[in-house]
Chain A
């Protein structure tokens, strides 16, 4: 049962994945551009500029992982939505098992861009000669990339697996939080003036992106080359 699911999902997504695979391979190479040439190795300014430029590129790593996760999640349910779930309902299989197989198929396909990313990282680090104090972290970064892809994939997968009512509920809750954060803050400040420096949306966002929040993997250290 698993193999047909995998084949089906792969058929759905393979062409859409091509640009992401190319980007996953190319981004690490771009991130080391300018490092390692002799002029950069010597001149503090040139080296600092190159490193700063590369640090700026690092935001694209988690963004790419998130994009791949989204594409995989949406494509995994695309066929079901189009066929009104008739095919899935006709299978002699429990709903939970069907969803688990489908999710497993997407997770395996996520390995394709991850492997491209890993090769890109290894090629990039092999192309530069680093001074003694710096080290390359291609394997750790690839693991991080895979986990971030899976994280984005699982969130979107869960949303896409649910009913429209659930999706609307989640987004409405987020919207209401944004909308009501002002009055809520005002209320809190009235209750206790020392709370003026606590902002509800900021507090929630911090809980989400800081450990052990679900999105902490996206905001950690994504450096390919570090001390």
Chain B
């Protein structure tokens, strides 16, 4: 509530006060800045109110909870769901190797678990993750959620390191691995197509490992880069905005077809990260997970030792494999994730035909003409 009041004040101030000549932008900015502490205070008050409400509800609901260990995890669950939580987390932990025990965060943090018709607040003061869902979710989904909670705890181990910045996701097999295949196959970057066909170093490069900020020429062909730079220049021309790309470079790229000029145009538009193939989704976290599985016992500890190292170096050291071997590993994994195209049309169409015949049979047997 307090947060809303503060936001309302801010909106009122911004809208009701006329922007006159006397009131410069600087003044307005100062006034808005002066509201910032008020907003922070209001947000803290709102959080405290919600927590108090939860505590009150906990007291009313009086749902007893247990804290217990499942492998290296500390789980907090409703007492009657202790067995269920143990089964779910045991299943989730099966996909991790012995290296999981080497995590610093996992041994310390708590995981709140419940899977019930109605969720009750389980309030935890220490650092924690939550795996909570109503029964509308299937058991398989709950296990996946548990697996990802563990994966995100592993990621927290690497917080602030270049590797964590590179993969930005939970260290676990992706929830929908087929999406990684789709991402790889559907992006037309030349390197993606090479990765799909060759694996190895091509996949390593497509994942942006050992990359400096600019690898456009390794990721995309000359034609692709030229084409994109021309489109970009035309876009700025069409919207009639000053071209921030350097008129000379644009002219050399568009009219002269110079690839160096086109690269210059693209560089001015954004960093290599803007264009990096496979920098989204679960492609990179999957590589970390596979590298850890390959590294086995001690892999995560080695990963933690390489905290400040570049992602490529950290993965090689932790897994004990070369870039090419890791690229091949990822390639084999991603090929296995190819989704079933036009799923259900094969045998499924036979079933559909049988159902159609069954309904036709029902229609022929219907009794509309029977009188009396």
Contacts and interface: CB of A to CB of B under 8 A. Distances in A.
A29 interface: no
Interface string B201-226: 00000000000000000001000110
A48 interface: yes
B196 A220 contact: no
Contacts of A221: 339-345
Interface stretch (B24-32, B34-42, B145-153, B179-187): B179-187
A122 interface: no
A154 B280 CA distance: 44
B22 interface: no
A130 to B, nearest CB: 8
Interface string A72-97: 00000000000001001100000110
B364 interface: yes
A38 interface: yes
B17 interface: no
A85 B225 CA distance: 69
Contacts of B351: 211-213, 216
Given A144-B345, A211-B351, A226-B342, A163 B367 contact: yes
A111 interface: no
Nearest to A140: B342
A133 B364 contact: no
A8 interface: no
A89 B369 contact: yes
A151 interface: yes
Contacts of A148: 352
A75 to B, nearest CB: 15
Interface residues of B, number: 60
Nearest to B224: A42
Of the candidates A43, A85, A137, A154, the one having the most CB atoms from chain B within 10 angstroms of its own CB is A154
A44 B348 contact: no
Contacts of A51: 186
B53 interface: no
A150 interface: yes
Interface string B340-372: 111111011101111110011011111111000
A219 B351 CA distance: 14
Interface string B114-138: 0111000000000000000001100
Contacts of A133: 184-187, 192-193, 196
Contacts of B193: 131-133
B344 A42 contact: no
Contacts of B275: 43-44
B117 A134 contact: no
B359 A155 contact: yes
A13 interface: no
Given A211-B347, A227-B182, A47 B188 contact: yes
A16 interface: no
A157 interface: yes
A134 B351 CA distance: 28
Contacts of A202: 136
B105 interface: no
Given A193-B80, A197-B135, A158 B189 contact: no
B151 to A, nearest CB: 23
B84 interface: yes
B333 interface: no
B356 to A, nearest CB: 5
Interface of A: 38-39, 41-44, 47-48, 51, 85, 88-89, 95-96, 99-100, 103, 131-135, 137, 140-141, 143-144, 147-148, 150-151, 154-155, 157-158, 161-163, 166, 193-194, 196-199, 202, 211-214, 216-217, 219-221, 223, 226-227
23 contacts: A38-B227, A41-B227, A44-B187, A95-B364, A99-B363, A99-B364, A131-B188, A133-B187, A140-B345, A143-B345, A154-B355, A154-B356, A155-B359, A158-B366, A162-B368, A194-B84, A196-B135, A213-B351, A217-B352, A219-B344, A220-B348, A221-B342, A226-B182
The 7 closest A-B pairs by CB, nearest first: A133-B185, A220-B344, A131-B188, A42-B228, A154-B359, A96-B364, A161-B363
